[in-house]
Amino acid sequence: MSELSISDARAELANAITRAKKKPVTIVRHGKPVAVLITPSLYEKFVESMEELEDIADFDAAASDGDPSIPWEQAKKDLGLH
């Protein structure tokens, strides 16, 4: 990962964007990371991954909440979907 100070990022934004196409660029202030510049496609991958992880966590929470589940065959019968 590449690193760039805020003042350098301001002065060289076009260059920072070009660099971010190859690998993420960390923007630092006083030596500490404050932001990361990434491509839109990488951002979308991160968002999709987070959504999948949230879905898995929701499923796990629902599966462990103690409510009895209904077998699929019974649900189809109850709904008249034989």
Domains identified in the chain, total number: 1
**What are the beta bridge partners of residue 32?**
29
What is residue 20's three-state secondary structure? helix
Tens digit of each residue's pLDDT (9 = 90 or more) over 28-67: 999 999 999 999 999 999 999 999 999 999 888 877 777 7
User: How many residues does the structure list for the chain?
Assistant: 82
Q: Which residues, including other chains, have CB under 8 Å from residue 21's CB and lie 6 or more apart?
A: 39
pLDDT at residue 68 tops 80: no
Q: Is residue 46 part of a domain?
A: yes
User: What is the residue range of 46's domain?
Assistant: 2-63
pLDDT at residue 4 tops 80: yes
Q: Is residue 69 part of a domain?
A: no
Q: What's the CATH number where 31 sits? A: 3.40.1620.10
**pLDDT for position 27:** 97
Q: Is residue 28 part of a domain?
A: yes
**pLDDT for position 24:** 97
In this prediction, residues 18-30 reach a mean pLDDT of: 96
